[in-house]
Amino acid sequence: MTNSQQTVTAIKAFNDNYIWAISSENNTNIALVDPGDAFVCIDYMQTNNLILSAILITHHHSDHVGGIAKLLEYAKEKAWSVTVYGPATENIAQLDITLQENDKVSIPELNCQFDVLDLPGHTKGHIAYYDDNKVFCGDTLFSGGCGRLFEGTAQQMHHSLTKLANLATDTLIYCAHEYTQANLAFALAVEPNNIDLHNYAEQVKVKRQHSHATIPSNIALELQINPFLRCHKHSIKLAAQAYSNQNQRNDSDVFAAIRTWKDNF
């Protein structure tokens, strides 16, 4: 389903988090994705006279769920009805509806619907919400990078990233952190001869000098510049071999090698 009448706005939180506010041109209702900080969300809603209808959670880490309780308390004071969605296999106390692969989330107040993807890796139960022009992918895929493996395996994460890579190339990527510039420094170490990567790094440098967001990215761009989506490329395989002094058996092993490299970069 195309949610063409929706607007997605970044609410900045903590040092580098993005909480995504999904709104409609037809009314004042919104949904929030991964509201780790209730206070910045409440301030945003008060400033813009908005009504909270839904909360979408990708995984259980505190910088993604920490604001839920306070937001529900605030909504109760306002007599708002809020539905909280999140992953079925993670322990998140306030969920009303638990989700797994192929489930659908309908938010009638916003006239929108999302499909759910299972994306284990960063955490075991991590999920994403997507329609045919955008994906809210939490801490799985970043621009130029990917999330750390706190709970899942390298094989799981590589499979999850491959799922995202197979979405339509014009899909907008709404990840949860402004990590792009640091990610690109690593990507350039892995693939120093990638002209697309150099060009993007220059664009990002200018954006960040002006404190502009680099998110959303899109799938087409990430396929050109993100080493974690390019593990099938000869240049990435050579870099993984050089770093690890080993020959990787498959693309998943290539991913594991460069993820370890990034952890120590």
- Residue 225 and residue 191: Cα distance in Å, rounded? 9
Beta-carbon contacts of 20 under 8 Å, excluding residues fewer than 6 positions away, are: 8, 9, 10, 11, 32, 33, 34, 136, 174
- Residue 149 and residue 158: Cα distance in Å, rounded? 11
**Binding-site residues for Zn(2+):** 59, 61, 63-64, 122, 139, 177
**Binding-site residues:** 59, 61, 63-64, 122, 139, 177
**What are the phi and psi torsion angles at 233 (to 5°)?**
-80, 145
Copy the structure tokens of residue 118: 């299972």
